[in-house]
């Protein structure tokens, strides 16, 4: 079975729930003492803002220590016992330590009744927060979705400010009950455009059912949503190893969809191992499959080793070379403008060569503006060439108008360019 996608940062808290339970028991016993505990003192001081964090006289407890943070959380648990959910949430929200606050929030959400989530969500939006409110609101909706996905979806419809949390609810629901989540998404969608709910559904099931995720993706029209679905599947495939990821595109009959998978798999792999991604893309015998993936793979590899990136470009099919080369040029030019100019010249006649020339122009326009401007004449497309003259010379003129005027006078440029910069 494919391993789940990487868990979000706040979910690392869950493994410590048993510690929280133990802390609650200790807190219950301690609460019977009539004397105020150090934890309660810390909470009171925090709420009244009368004591700075870590301050105090001899023998005072360091509020940043693990012991004091734990006792602060335990003190909060004592003070929230028997309170209404919104009041309990308010006490937890005042914990200044992000890690401890999120640990307490996870425990609170796990024990919150389904009918109480809406009021807590309302309170969350009214309250002032230290930080991380987006991730903590995400925790709330993830926990809510596990107990009752339909209710948070209805809440989101009535509260547009929480619409960004809809995907988390759908992903969680799809992971638990893919058929029900898919049925809801299909029924909810209207019109002929892309289904705005389907990418989240696919992301929720990709880790455990790549075949079903592939079926749903294939039925989506070309769109941003389909791109999101393909990316989710690419990440899930790579979680199961490069061998499985590399083999998957061959199961796709639609060439456009196959190219999308090649691009997403290669791009995601390139972040961890650009050479492996480059070797895989270079091994393909179709330039149309290489072309979409080549650019970002080449860019990532060039950051590591420019010479290896240049070798990668040479191994590609002709129609894919320009897209890769334009992403190598900035890194190559950074240390060797003359050598880069020679490399670009060697690929004249390559399909898409104008993109390479423009990339070189912008790679050295500030360090060597004369050479950069001279290369613009190498752009074959007249409209693209004219636009490039106006943009590049315009930027140069803001720093040195006389130099631009002299350069235009000494070179053959389009008449409208000459008129603009000869004034």
pLDDT in tens, 375-405: 999 999 999 999 999 999 999 999 999 999 9
Residue 392 lies in a domain: yes
- Tokens (6 digits) for 250: 């061959």
Question: Residue 13 corresponds to which tokens in the numbers above?
Answer: 């808290």
Domain range spanning residue 292? 288-353
> How many domains in the chain?
4
Position 348 scores a pLDDT of 95
Angle CA 267–270–273, to nearest 5: 155
Q: Count CB-CB contacts under 10 A for residue 329.
A: 29
Asked if 258 and 295 sit in the same domain, the reply is: no
**What pLDDT is stored for residue 192 in this prediction?**
82
Please give the DSSP secondary-structure letter assigned to residue 60. -
Q: Which residue, 173, 204, 236, sits at the end of a domain? A: 173
Decide if 60 is inside a domain.
no
What is the per-residue pLDDT for 131? 85
CA–CA separation, 356 and 321 (whole Å): 9
Q: How confident is the model over 178-226, as pLDDT tens digits?
A: 999 999 999 999 888 899 999 999 999 999 999 999 999 999 999 999 9
The segment with the largest mean pLDDT, out of 15-19, 285-289, 298-302, is: 298-302
**Contact criterion met (CB below 8 Å) for 309 and 291:** no
Instruction: Please state the pTM of the whole predicted model.
Output: 0.73
Based on the domain organization, do 18 and 121 belong to the same domain?
yes
Q: Does residue 358 fall inside a structural domain?
A: no
Q: Are residues 319 and 381 in the same domain?
A: no
Residue 316 within any structural domain of the chain: yes
Say if residue 88 is in the same domain as residue 122: yes
User: Which residue matches tokens 């690419």?
Assistant: 234
Q: How many CA atoms lie within 13 A of 113 on its CB side?
A: 6
């Amino acid at each position: 079975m494919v391993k789940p996608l990487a868990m979000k940062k706040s979910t690392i808290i869950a493994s410590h729930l048993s510690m929280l339970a133990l802390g609650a028991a200790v807190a219950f016993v301690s609460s019977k003492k009539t004397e105020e505990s150090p934890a309660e003192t810390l909470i009171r001081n925090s709420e009244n803002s009368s004591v700075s964090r870590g301050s105090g006289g001899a023998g005072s407890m360091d509020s940043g220590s693990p012991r004091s943070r734990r006792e602060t959380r335990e003190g909060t648990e004592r003070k929230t016992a028997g309170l209404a959910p919104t009041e309990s949430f308010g006490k937890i929200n005042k914990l200044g330590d992000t890690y401890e606050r999120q640990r307490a929030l996870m425990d609170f959400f796990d024990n919150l009744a389904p009918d109480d989530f809406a009021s807590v969500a309302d309170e969350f939006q009214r309250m002032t927060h230290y930080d991380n409110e987006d991730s903590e609101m995400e925790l709330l909706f993830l926990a809510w979705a596990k107990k009752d996905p339909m209710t948070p979806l209805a809440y989101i419809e009535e509260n547009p400010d929480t619409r960004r949390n809809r995907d988390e609810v759908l992903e969680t629901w799809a992971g638990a009950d893919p058929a029900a989540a898919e049925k809801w998404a299909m029924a909810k969608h209207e019109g002929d455009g892309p289904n705005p709910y389907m990418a989240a559904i696919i992301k929720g099931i990709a880790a455990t059912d790549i075949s079903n995720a592939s079926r749903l993706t294939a039925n989506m029209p070309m769109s941003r949503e389909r791109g999101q679905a393909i990316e989710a599947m690419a990440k899930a495939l790579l979680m199961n190893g490069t061998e499985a990821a590399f083999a998957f595109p061959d199961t796709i009959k639609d060439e456009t969809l196959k190219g999308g998978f090649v691009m997403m798999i290669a791009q995601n792999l390139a972040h961890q191992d650009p050479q492996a991604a480059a070797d895989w893309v270079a091994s393909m015998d179709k330039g149309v499959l290489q072309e979409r993936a080549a650019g970002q793979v080449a860019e990532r590899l060039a950051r590591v080793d420019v010479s290896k990136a240049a070798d990668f470009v040479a191994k590609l099919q002709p129609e894919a070379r320009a897209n890769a080369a334009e992403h190598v040029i900035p890194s190559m030019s950074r240390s060797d403008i003359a050598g880069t100019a020679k490399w670009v010249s060697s690929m004249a006649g390559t399909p898409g060569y104008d993109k390479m020339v423009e990339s070189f122009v912008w790679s050295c326009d500030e360090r060597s503006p004369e050479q950069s401007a001279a290369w613009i004449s190498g752009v074959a497309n007249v409209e693209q060439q004219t636009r490039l003259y106006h943009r590049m010379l315009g930027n140069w003129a803001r720093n040195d108008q006389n130099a631009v005027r002299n350069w235009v006078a000494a070179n053959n440029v389009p008449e409208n360019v000459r008129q603009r910069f000869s004034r």
